[in-house]
Amino acid sequence: MPIFNDTKVAFADKTDAQLRKAYWMFKMIEQPALTNLGTSVLNFTVHNNFPFVNTIVKNTLFEQFCGGETREESMKAVKQLFKRGVGSIFDYSIEGKEDEETFDAVCQEIKDIVKFSVGNPAIPFIVFKPTAFGRIDLYEAVGNGSELTSSQKEEWERVVKRFDEVCKLCHEHDKKVMVDAEETWMQDAADQLCEEMMEKYNQENPIVWNTIQMYRTGRLEYMEQNLQRAREKNYFIGYKIVRGAYMEKERARAAEKGYADPIQPTKDASDKNYNSGIDFVMNHLDKVSAFFGTHNEISSELVMDKMKANNLENKHPNIYFGQLYGMSDNITFYLSDKGYNAAKYLPYGPVKDVVPYLTRRARENTSVAGQTGRELGLIKKELDRRKK
pLDDT digits (tens, 9 = 90+) for 23-35: 988 887 776 654 5
Q: Calculate what percentage of the chain has a pLDDT beyond 70.
A: 90
Beta-bridge partner residues of 34:
none
Coil, strand or helix: which one is 353?
helix
Q: How confident is residue 1, by pLDDT bands cut at 50, 70 and 90? A: very low
| Helix (H) / strand (E) containing 210 | strand 208-213
Distance CA 129, CA 350 (A): 17
The C-alpha atoms of residue 246 and residue 250 are separated, in whole angstroms, by 6
The confidence score (pLDDT) of residue 174 equals: 96
pTM, rounded to two decimals = 0.93
| CA 325/CA 328 separation, integer angstroms | 8
| pLDDT tens-digit readout, 231-250 | 999 999 999 999 998 888 89
Q: Map out the domains of the chain with their CATH numbers.
A: 97-293 (3.20.20.220)
Q: At what angle do helices 297-309 and 267-283 cross, to 10 degrees?
A: 20
pLDDT tens, position by position, 172-227: 999 999 999 999 999 999 999 999 999 999 999 999 999 999 999 999 999 999 99
